[in-house]
Amino acid sequence: MSPLHLTTRDTPTGPVLEVLGELDHATAARLSDLVAALPLRPGQDLVLDLAGMEFCDSSGITALIAARNHAHAARAGIALAAVPAHTLRVLRMVGLDQIFPILPDSPAADGP
């Protein structure tokens, strides 16, 4: 079991939140709490970089949906980046790939 590590960095277009480790019933609330505390502005984009996410259960999926709801309430966009294949398969099975923009990689920290 890998502990969950969350790191936030600012980019010109909005915050990037890196998710490392396991996003499950024991850790999903940490992600939800961190996202809820992010001061998003209209027009920004929140990117969840999932490249280092090793596991995601239904609680983790619920936390991703809560992040989307928070971003939309702030009139900000949201995208998932570098989604691991096993998680992308689940997102596709339940249709969440239709509501989350999926980026192949995380955006650069400093932009162009």
In this prediction, residue 2 carries a pLDDT of 80
| Multiple choice CATH, 5-103, 3.90.930.12, 3.40.50.980, 2.40.160.20, 3.30.750.24 | 3.30.750.24
pTM to 2 decimals?
0.91
Mean pLDDT of 3-8: 96
* Residue-wise pLDDT tens digits, 25-67: 999 999 999 999 999 999 999 999 999 999 999 999 999 999 9
User: Where in the chain does DSSP place strands (E)?
Assistant: 5-11, 14-23, 45-56, 77-81, 102-103
As a whole number, the mean pLDDT across the chain is 93
Helix/strand/coil for 46: strand
User: Which sequence spans correspond to the domains of the chain?
Assistant: 5-103
Residue 106: which of 10, 18, 7, 1 has the closest Cα?
18
